[in-house]
Structure 1
Amino acid sequence: NDAMSLTIARCVSANARITANTRNTSRASVRARRNAANSSRGLSLARIQSPSVTRQHHQSSRGAVAANALPAMSAILSTHYALPALWAACAPAVALAYINPIYSFSIGYGLSILFASAFVHQALVASGTFVTTMLALHVAGGAAYGARLAAFLFYRSVTWDEWRERAKNAPEANAKSFAKQTLVIALCSALYAMMSSPMMWHAQNVNAVNAAKYAGVIAVGLALEWVGLILEAVADQQKFNYKATEEGKTKWCSKGLYKFCRHPNYLGEIMFWVGLYVAGFPAMLTRPITLVPSSLGLLFIVKLMTSAAKRGDKKQLEKYGEDNAAYKAWVESTCSLVPGN
């Protein structure tokens, strides 16, 4: 009996274990089915939300592309492609000539200098180059000059009827064919790139410049750049305001700065470009080849402004000077650009 009882107990115990295992297996199976269902619902939810996920993915991709673009810009700045890249930066502004050919020499001119300054700034940001105060003032001066000039010329073009008529009849406005306009855009943007290139050479070679040796040269250049910028801005505004008066419609401007100089706006322009060049000169000495495009650009703009002053004197003499003692007295008491001329 004891043996039978022990056998029965063992059988009961075995059956209990089998039952428990069966229950555990069933519970595990239920949990597995629940997990599968939850996974299915999660996948469905992900599919429903996929547009936003896709947008986030695309935004991340665009951010990565933008991040990679800046190092590429800094790499271009340190190579022989720097000047062509600056040329390309100026071209979109000059391309306004497709709207009106005269814009190549007015609004597009100002904007191209602004765009060139922005290009140099972005290249500096991308490269992580330490920006000295003098370099910052150099590039900021170019940006301020371009922005101010473009804004002024645009405002004048839409408010001054006489200027619009003169612009319409200018020889530059006759380049109507697409090929001629494209050629003008290419040449002008190349010229503006050469003129503004001292900023780029300064940025490119700032660490190679002997700061202690050339600090005075750079400071003189910056002073000329900023004083010229302000002088031109004030002279432009004074003449514009005078021409808007009844007296200004029939008489030459002899107010403000024009009491002392017949073309203070041209003088300011020359001072600005000479200053921009001088501020970048020490950096250009570290790579003498860079002196070539910068010097050509400077010589062109100085020649252009001095020639414009001579033409202006001739036109004013023809318009106001015949038997006009007051005009002749004003001419004798003023200089065309600087004392002695």
Structure 2
Amino acid sequence: MKTFFILLVIALAASACGFKKYVWFISLGYGFAIAAVGAGSLIIFHGNLTTGAVIQCALLIIYGIRLSGYLVYRDVKTAYNRRMKGEVKTNDEVSFGVKFAIWISVALLYVFQTSPAWFRLMDNRGTDAFCVAGVIISAFGIIFEATADLQKNSAKKKNPGQFVSSGLFSFVRCPNYLGEMINWTGVFISGLSIYHNATEWICAVIGYVGIIYVMFSGARRLEIRQDKNYGSDPNYQHYKSTTPIMVPFIPILPIMSSPKLRFLGIPLTGYPQNKSQR
């Protein structure tokens, strides 16, 4: 429990930037917190380091720094803030109580998401097949997500008013989210050999299911926004009808934009909305 609370404090400190601008809890603060927990785990468990554990924590650091760095670049160098004006509540519209609740909730989620990595270090379990498989899957997901971000940014520079359907976006409509899910699937898989009690299983499952929920919620919000912006474009309608929204090789999921799916629209979805709707 002591380790959990130390890492929670680290996540809280790293995501506290959200008090300046509340969406940062789930955008910049998200990346900062994941990187900080990865670095903190290496420091706390410096005596238990193995090759697999070090690589896994390094991937968390790389993931978090890349994400936050990209978000800063996007906000500073692109017209994202102007395009999103009116779509996201301003800082003054959110009470301190709501900010505090979001802060605590997301920090807990970030610690749970990363728990397979620090469980391995805490239990001094070394590098096994699940660790190796998880690291490979996570690395692929990070590269996939970063590639999608770069491709979308490049396409938007050339044609800001056009939806993106090239590169990885010809494979699925939300490759950013797909890469994110692949990354965290790898993190979860890496711990399948080390979850030895109910508490560890619960923490890992909450973290994994939580981020998957966030991704589907974000995809729904993006679907609604895309329909609003490009719904009258026959090219977009063709693209939408022939390209899976997020998970390849399964039905298109046209219900994602349905107003009935309100359970996919809670405030926690601000991170993926802010990340991909640029």
TM-score (norm 1): 0.68
Q: Which residue of 2 aligns with 1:260?
A: 171
Residue 227 (1) aligns with residue 145 (2): no
Q: Deviations over 1:79-126 (max 9, x none)?
A: x2221111101111211012211110111110000000011000122x
| Aligned twin of 2:32 | 111
| 2:110 is equivalent to residue 185 of structure 1 | no
Higher relative contact order, chain-length normalized (CA < 8 Å, sep 6+) = 2
* TM-fit CA distance, 1:175: 5.3
2:10 alignment counterpart: 89
Tell me: CA distance 1:186–1:172, structure 2 relative to 1, closer, same or farther (3 Å). Answer: farther
Alignment gaps of 5+ in structure 2: 253-278
Deviates more, 1:158-167 or 1:105-114: 158-167
Q: Deviations over 1:17-61 (max 9, x none)?
A: xxxxxxxxxxxxxxxxxxxxxxxxxxxxxxxxxxxxxxxxxxxxx
Rounded to whole Å, the distance in 1 between the matches of 2:85 and 2:104 is 21
- 1:176 CA drift (Å): 4.1
Q: What residue number does 1:296 align with? A: 206
- Secondary structure, counterpart of 2:114 in structure 1: helix
Do residues 99 (structure 1) and 20 (structure 2) align? yes
- Which of the two has higher C-alpha Rg? 1
Structure 2: how far apart are the matches of 1:145 and 1:167? 27
Seen in structure 2, the aligned counterparts of structure 1 residues 311 and 264 have a Cα distance that, compared at 3 Å, is same
Matched, 1:315 2:236: no
Closer/same/farther in 2, CA of residues 267 and 172 from structure 1, 3 Å limit: farther
Structure 1, gaps ≥5 residues long: 1-79
1:270-309 maps to which residues of 2 (within 5 A)? 270-284=181-195, 286-309=196-219
Q: Distance in 1 between matches of 2:204 and 2:172?
A: 28
- Count of aligned residue pairs for this structure pair: 250
User: CA–CA distance in 1 between the matches of 2:85 and 2:191?
Assistant: 34
Counterparts in 2 of 1:318 and 1:134: CA distance versus 1, 3 Å: same
- Post-superposition CA distance 1:158-202 (Å, at most 9, x none): 122233552664147455443433332222212211111111101
- Name the amino acid aligned to 2:178: L
**1:281 to partner: Cα distance:** 2.4
1:86/1:282 CA distance change after superposition, 3 Å: same
Distance 1:225 1:260 in 2: 19
Distance 1:169 1:316, change over 3 A: closer
Aligned match of 1:139: 57
Map 1:187-266 → 2, pairs under 5 A: 187-207=105-125, 215-245=128-158, 247=159, 249-266=160-177
Question: Is 1:333–2:242 an aligned residue pair?
Answer: yes
Instruction: Compute the RMSD of aligned alpha carbons.
Output: 2.0
Which of the pair is proportionally richer in helix?
A: 1
* Pairwise CA distance, 1:139: 1.0
Task: State the shift of 1:280 in Å.
Answer: 2.0
Partners of 1:146 and 1:171 in 2: CA distance: 24
* Distance in 1 of aligned mates of 2:178 and 2:186: 12
List per-residue Cα deviations over 1:137-160 (Å, max 9, x = no partner). 211111110110011111111122
Question: Is the CA contact 1:102–1:167 (under 8 Å) kept in the aligned structure 2?
Answer: no
Contact 2:34 2:64 in 1 (8 A): yes
Q: Judging changes above 3 Å, is the alpha-carbon distance between structure 1 residues 165 and 327 closer, same or farther for their aligned structure 2 residues?
A: closer
**In 2, are the aligned partners of 1:228 and 1:269 still within 8 Å (CA)?**
yes
Kindly provide the amino acid, as one letter, of the partner of residue 59 in structure 2.
G
TM-score, with normalisation over the residues of structure 2? 0.83
For 1:118-157, what aligned pairs fall within 5 Å after superposition? 118-125=39-46, 128-129=47-48, 131-157=49-75
Which of these residues, 149, 155, 166, is aligned with residue 84 of structure 2? 166
Q: Deviations over 1:244-273 (max 9, x none)?
A: 22x2x2210012111221110000001111
Instruction: Name the aligned partner's letter for residue 132 of structure 1.
Output: T
| Mean CA deviation greater in 140-149 or 219-228 | 219-228
Partner of 2:266: none
Whole-angstrom CA distance in 1 between matches of 2:53 and 2:238:
45
CA distance in 2, matches of 1:192, 1:173: 22
Letter in 1 for 2:29: G
Contact kept in structure 1, 2:177 and 2:219, CA below 8 Å: yes
* Aligned residue identity for 2:73: Y
Letter in 2 for 1:162: Y
